[in-house]
Chain A
Amino acid sequence: MATNEKIQVDSVTGQTTTGHEWDGIRELNTPLPRWWLWTFYACILFSIGYWVVYPAWPGISGFTHGLLGQSSRGDVAVDVAAIQAQRAVTEAGLKDATVDQIAADKKLLGLALAHGKAAFAEDCAPCHGAGGQGGKGYRNLTNEDWLWGGKLDDILQTVTHGIRDYTDKDTRQSAMPAFGAMGVLKSDEIKQVVSYVRTLSKLPPEAGVDVAAGQKIFADNCAVCHGDDGKGKREFGSANLTDGLQLYGGDIKDLTYTVTNARNSTMPAWGARLDPVTLKTLAVFVHNLGAGE
């Protein structure tokens, strides 16, 4: 603790002390230079000027906007406009090129992948995952399980017009019937066909279930879309049932639900929301996730 002692004059420096003493150590009074004080006042004046020209004080239902009318949102709009103007120059080559031309040209490919990576993270990653790894019901874009085709043009078509997005007349459409819910198949028939479908992917069928009966049910009800060999048909967007890569899962419970109620999920059409260059770069980016055809 500081104790207060008489103010003294320090013999070494000739300076007065403040009268404060800590364990025998006395504090010299060394006044700050006056310019320091003026600098402090200048800062106060500056802050008042700042309040006047910049947004500063909060109110009940708003805030003071300042004479400059600056806002963070406005700054972002300016930055976005600037980056778009910049992109119009650097990405001029992407505008007129087809996706195949882009993929064939290393310079355009590099531009498209950079652009596509950013667009994917913003628009696609919420469903398909940061690296396109997908999830149950959301396509894993890194494997070969393309329902509608994995060529650049196929992917561009899917991204642009979506799947079962009926706001877009060119959307990819198909509907698997809900065999159980509609009463087409009874529950033991569903059991049999599910077990048969599992054998197509070399997975064990349910114990004690008649797989041969399931094969007949498959030929009568499923083969028309999924093909006699179960490999799927891209014109219908029907799944390849032989690769063990099922969008909604390949275990008995998942398959039973799929056959009973059907899935028929939707992917939005991005054509109306994104510019043509971004759509193309997305197609190129997805194609480069490892499984492009």
Chain B
Amino acid sequence: MSAAEKYQGDGGPEVYDEGPLYSSAAKVYPQKVSGNYRRLKWAILIVCLGLYYVLPFVRWDRGPNEPSQSILIDLPHSRFYWFFIEIWPQEVYYFTGILILAALALFLSNALFGRVWCGYFCIQTVWTDLFLWVERLVEGDRRDRIKLDAAPWSASKIGKRVAKHGLWLLIAAGTGGVFALYFADAPTLVANLFTLKAPLAAYVWIGILTFTTYYLAGHMREQVCLYMCPWPRIQAALTDVDALNVTYRRDRGEPRLSVKDAARARAAGKPAGDCVDCMQCVAVCPVGVDIRKGSQLGCIQCGLCIDACDAVMAKIHRPTRLIAYDTDENVKRRTRGEKPVYKLVRARTILYVVVIAVVGSLMLYKLTTRQHIGLSVLHVRAPMYTLAHDGLVRNGYTLRFANKWSEPRAFALTVSGVAGATVKSEEADALPDGRLKVTLDPDATLEAQLYVTAPVGSAAPAGAPIAMTITDLKNGETAKVSDHFFGP
């Protein structure tokens, strides 16, 4: 069926599109740029990457029984360490809290400055920036790179390509390698990696992350933002008229005329804009969009076009910030001759700040008041109770004690609520006062069977309330759980 066949009524052939199903992505050659936003981006890049590479090597003393790495995800022992905070598996809701805070912070940043996350902090942006810097270092700036791509293969071209990809792979391997360091003692793992003694999983993960870093930052670049990332779509739903976005001030820029034409037009009393259509804003854009078309999906709001435009405006002695963080509404207001309005403090941003404060303080409260000892109980279900000799009934409980201190601790265990009950646990010792004593390793849990025996009749068939309490023999901290004692 020809692609151009047109609709011919019911039963006729369907109309097919005449355009291509697939198109080659146009390669973007971002040009070098300097200015305030570029400097800010370098500063953020250095801080972010610096933290990423250095943090695994920062030590944090937690005593002799626990790792001394500041940030460590200890998968074999199910522990997460972050400086003075240690998270156990049952406390992963702190991660949920962090994710909620992160999402809210993203919403807030979006309400204030649009996609500031995309432009400055996103790992894709940061690593792409780094890879572009390497590319520029080896192959030169925009024009040189376009020329090199078009040039036939030569020794010099091969040399440049090898150098570029070699450096990229080196950075990628470093990125993947450092990631693995967050999961094991960093100095030990580094030594083991180079002496080929590290576990296979470490090499596999470094390999995977080397590949993804090299491929995504070196080759995919803006395609990740355009086709893979959901954030541009979500952002479109979150933005509002007051959010500051990188905006081409159409009111000032149009109509676009060259410097000479503009001078002529102004002399003749005709309108002339400040934009000289030099295309510098497009040349420096890492996504390859034209900001003058307005806010769009491809724009990551990095502000590099502002730097480029400012440089041009300074050169031709016109006021800078023809492109600036602004709103479309203000562009319209200026067109109407009104004053621009900036509303960073508004209902939406106040709400986000309040919610962030509430969630943050809730988490902080939970964190600062959490206990260092723990107890949980599970009634033995099969059987619910056992008829023992001599008119006695026995219930079994599986107790799990937790000691979150980095030293061994002993707990005294008492059972209350059932009259005439005797308690027994093979995992426990007896204290001089008759209470049971359990001893736990540092930063560990212990499971123990507890048997409570009482005369038949001391428990209703529906169960009598019973409580178990542990008391830390060192500092008197207590934890209590309750359950039921069943009988016939």
Residues of A within 8 A of B (CB): 4-7, 16-20, 29, 31-37, 103, 106, 109-110, 113, 129-133, 140, 142-144, 243-245, 287-292
Contacts and interface: CB of A to CB of B under 8 A. Distances in A.
Pick the most buried of B387, B424, B447, B449: most chain A CB atoms within 10 A of its CB.
B387
A155 to B, nearest CB: 14
A33 B382 contact: no
A144 B388 contact: yes
Given A34-B25, A37-B22, A129-B382, A4 B15 contact: yes
Nearest to A132: B382
B382 A36 contact: no
A19 B17 contact: yes
Pick the most buried of A17, A31, A110: most chain B CB atoms within 10 A of its CB.
A31
B433 interface: no
A210 to B, nearest CB: 29
A106 B223 contact: no
Contacts of A243: 389
B338 interface: no
Contacts of B25: 33-35
B383 A288 contact: no
A31 B23 CA distance: 6
B6 interface: yes
Given A34-B22, A288-B449, A133 B382 contact: yes
Contacts of A144: 388-389
Given A33-B24, A34-B23, A103-B426, A290 B394 contact: yes
Nearest to A40: B22
B388 A33 contact: no
Contacts of A18: 17
B373 to A, nearest CB: 18
B386 A110 contact: no
A289 B115 CA distance: 62
Interface in B443-457: 446-447, 449, 451
A196 B46 CA distance: 92
Given A4-B15, A129-B382, A288-B426, A33 B446 contact: no
Contacts, number: 100
Contacts of A37: 22
Interface string B205-221: 00000000000000010
A110 B449 CA distance: 11
A31 to B, nearest CB: 4
Given A110-B446, A143-B388, 9 more contacts: A16-B17, A19-B16, A33-B23, A33-B24, A34-B24, A106-B427, A131-B383, A142-B396, A143-B386
B21 A31 contact: yes
27 contacts: A4-B15, A5-B15, A6-B6, A7-B15, A16-B17, A16-B18, A18-B17, A29-B17, A31-B19, A31-B22, A32-B22, A33-B23, A34-B23, A35-B220, A36-B227, A37-B22, A110-B427, A113-B427, A113-B449, A129-B383, A142-B383, A143-B389, A144-B388, A245-B387, A289-B449, A290-B394, A291-B394
B380 interface: yes
Nearest to B384: A133
A7 B14 CA distance: 12
Contacts of B406: none
Contacts of B24: 33-34
A116 to B, nearest CB: 12
- Which 5 pairs between the two chains have the least Cβ-Cβ distance? A131-B382, A133-B383, A4-B7, A19-B15, A31-B23
Contact of A143 (B17, B23, B223, B387): B387
Contacts of A133: 382-383, 386
Nearest to A284: B426
A37 B21 CA distance: 10
Contacts of B451: 290
B20 interface: yes
B427 A290 contact: no
B426 A4 contact: no
A42 B389 CA distance: 72
A142 B452 CA distance: 13
A138 B439 CA distance: 36
B17 A140 contact: no
Contacts of B449: 113, 288-290
Contacts of A287: 426
A281 B231 CA distance: 55
